[in-house]
Amino acid sequence: MKVDVVLGLQWGDEGKGKIVDVLANGYPVIARFQGGPNAGHSLQFEDKKFVLHTIPSGVFRKNTQNIIGNGVVIDPLTFLDECRKLEEIGVPVKERILISKKAHLILPSHRIIDAASEQAKGASKIGSTLKGIGPAYMDKTGRNGLRVGDILSGNFAERFQNLKNKHVSFLKQFDYNYNIDENESAWMDAIEYLKGFNLIDGEYYINNVLNEAKRVLAEGAQGSLLDVDFGSYPFVTSSTTTCAGACIGLGIAPRHIGKVSGIFKAYCTRVGSGPFPTELFDETGEKLREVGAEFGATTGRPRRTGWLDMVALKYAVMINGVDNLIMMKADVLDAFDTVKIAVKYKVNGELTDSFPYDTFAQIEPVYKEFKGWKRDLTKVTKEEDLPFEFMNYVRFIEKEVGVPIKIISLGPDRSQTIVRSEE
Ligand code: GDP
Ligand code: IMO
Ligand code: MG
């Protein structure tokens, strides 16, 4: 058996949580492979709404094991908070969640470094979620980090102190006020809570699952355009958000990757700083934000909005080797008279199909306009009932990208999902 992958093709918040929850029924194992509490994955079913940050989105399904892979960075404090909320509604988290011993820990001082370095960057700040993600991954690659498995060692407190001391020295370069001890005892309590979980060698676990002919679904966080290598660097996150990240973040060989499903919104959003070629600063952008409820699931920040960008979408499909597309939130466009898609960029007067290296290049999108469908799609349950103008939009995207759209999501609820029949 293989590991199927679901990941975002844009700047995050495409609707990964909803789709993984929908698909989770068919998979005994769901695994997060990168990112951490910077993610906010929303799910909605039976009139209930949930937002998950570190926990995989299969946690509401009975008979599903949810793995937090080695590529994830865990803040014990936010993890505890998330678990408590699930325990309150009767989700047996300790039975359903397994944690790789090789996942790295986010310390309270990582969050402080995140905030201090963002403040120091001033106008050129990344717009980080301030969850300590960048500093935790820096310590991982700098070979200073603490891993989940370390909490079981006798000298964990000493190792924690050593890393904290390094952080205090590092922070001397910033003109930033902080209280390094503020969250320490709560953090240590959360470490005790973490010890109650099944801490595993994730790479053995997943490879054994595959050998037993069981299916695994890998759940991406963030989006391909926030990838540390292929996103709009430096306005990116600090992990590999693309398909290759599933191999690194779970310990599986590339040949064990199965179907790759790429999720995209029928338009675009971005939170934080960085280039966004199709961004709208007018009433249309405001309407997308209002109708789409485009406010961050983790930080509550208003998301920047714009038209669908085909150049960026094709780039993400190429990098990830996407087999199937999943289109989200087309219902947000229901009331628009016309809908646009950027089909090319004009960079320095030259037309191009390529996503430019230069983050600061002046990009002018070239748009194709579509007649709006002007129908409420949120209650449509069958593909045959989708309006002609909408299907025109769908077919154009499929033809341009060369990949079929297999699932169409028309509302935040689990039930508002059309799985298209095989042709
Ligand atoms: P994720 O980070 O990729 O899981 O996405 P988020 O949860 O951050 O953001 C997606 C938002 O859109 C959430 O508020 C979802 O409840 C909502 N959503 C998901 N799919 C749809 C859809 O098809 N239509 C509408 N209107 N909302 C959706
Ligand atoms: P999900 O999984 C949208 C953005 C931040 C910032 C940049 C770096 O919900 O799609 P970081 O805290 O990672 O150092 O921030 O990345 N960002 C996200 N944007 N959705 C996310 O996750 C994001 N995670 C990080 O806004 O621009
Ligand atoms: Mg999100």
What distance in angstroms lies between residue 239's CA and the mean position of ligand 2's atoms?
Answer: 10
Confidence of residue 372 (pLDDT cuts 50, 70, 90): very high
How many Å apart are CA 176 and CA 170, to the nearest integer? 12
- Ligand 1 atom nearest to 410, measured from its CA: 23
- 134 CB near ligand 1 (under 6 Å): no
Cα-based torsion angle of the residue sequence 106, 108, 109, 112 in order, rounded to the nearest 10 degrees: 110
Residue nearest (by alpha carbon) to ligand 2 atom 16: 237
Q: What is the pLDDT of residues 197-236, one digit of tens each?
A: 999 999 999 999 999 999 999 999 999 999 999 999 999 9
Report, as an integer, the average pLDDT of 51-73: 97
What distance in angstroms lies between residue 17's CA and the mean position of ligand 3's atoms?
Answer: 8
- Ligand 2 atom nearest to 239, measured from its CA: 13
Return mean pLDDT, the chain.
96
Which residues are CB-contacts of 371 (< 8 A; sequence separation ≥ 6)?
Answer: 337, 338, 389, 392
Q: What is the 3-state secondary structure (H, E, C) of the chain?
A: CCEEEEEECCCCCCCHHHHHHHHHHHCCEEEECCECCCCCEEEEECCEEEEECCCCCCCCCCCCEEEECCCEEECHHHHHHHHHHHHHCCCCHHHHEEEECCCEECCHHHHHHHHHHHHHHHHHCCCCCCCCHHHHHHHHHCCCCCEHHHHHCCCHHHHHHHHHHHHHHHHCCCCCCCCCCCCHHHHHHHHHHHCCCEEECHHHHHHHHHHCCCCEEEECCCCHHHCCCCCCCCCCCCCCCCCHHHHHHHCCCHHHEEEEEEEEECCEEECCCCCCCCECCCHHHHHHHHHCCCECCCCCCECEEECEEHHHHHHHHHHHCCCEEEEECHHHHCCCCEEEEEEEEEECCEEECCCCCCCCCCEEEEEEEEECCCCCCCCCCCHHHCCHHHHHHHHHHHHHHCCCEEEEECCCCCCCEEECCCC
Cβ(240)–Cβ(227) under 8 Å? Answer: yes
- Is the pTM higher than 0.85? The answer reads yes
Amino acid at 204: Y
What distance in angstroms lies between residue 21's CA and the mean position of ligand 3's atoms?
Answer: 14
Ligand 2 pocket at CB < 6 A:
8, 11-13, 35, 38-41, 126-129, 131, 133-134, 221-223, 226, 237-238, 271-272, 297
What is the structure's pLDDT at 13? 97
Confidence of residue 72 (pLDDT cuts 50, 70, 90): very high
Is 80 exceeded by the pLDDT of residue 360? no
What distance in angstroms lies between residue 338's CA and the mean position of ligand 2's atoms?
Answer: 30
Is 80 exceeded by the pLDDT of residue 359? no
Report, as an integer, the average pLDDT of 86-101: 97
What is the structure's pLDDT at 27? 96
Is 90 exceeded by the pLDDT of residue 297? no
Mutate to test the pocket of ligand 1, among 5, 7, 9, 13 (most ligand atoms within 8 A of CB): 13
What is the structure's pLDDT at 84? 98
Report, as an integer, the average pLDDT of 128-135: 98
Of 4, 41, 309, 413, which is the active-site residue? 41
Report, as an integer, the average pLDDT of 84-105: 97
Report CA-CA distances (Å) from 327 to 89, 260, 304, 316, 393. Answer: 31, 14, 19, 14, 11
Is 60 exceeded by the pLDDT of residue 396? yes
Is 90 exceeded by the pLDDT of residue 162? yes
Confidence of residue 361 (pLDDT cuts 50, 70, 90): confident
Q: At what angle do helices 108-121 and 133-141 cross, to 10 degrees?
A: 110
Catalytic site residue 110?
A: no
Amino acid at 87: E
Mutate to test the pocket of ligand 2, among 271, 276, 303, 326 (most ligand atoms within 8 A of CB): 271
Confidence of residue 259 (pLDDT cuts 50, 70, 90): very high
What distance in angstroms lies between residue 309's CA and the mean position of ligand 1's atoms?
Answer: 18
Q: Which is nearest to 203 in space by CA: 250, 155, 141?
A: 250
Which residues are CB-contacts of 102 (< 8 A; sequence separation ≥ 6)?
Answer: 70, 147, 148, 149, 201, 202, 203
Is 90 exceeded by the pLDDT of residue 105? yes
What is the structure's pLDDT at 422? 63
Q: What is the pLDDT of residues 338-356, one digit of tens each?
A: 999 999 999 988 999 999 8
Report, as an integer, the average pLDDT of 399-414: 98
Confidence of residue 298 (pLDDT cuts 50, 70, 90): confident
Report, as an integer, the average pLDDT of 52-69: 97
Is 60 exceeded by the pLDDT of residue 423? no
Catalytic site residue 256?
A: no
Report, as an integer, the average pLDDT of 374-379: 97
Is 70 exceeded by the pLDDT of residue 29? yes
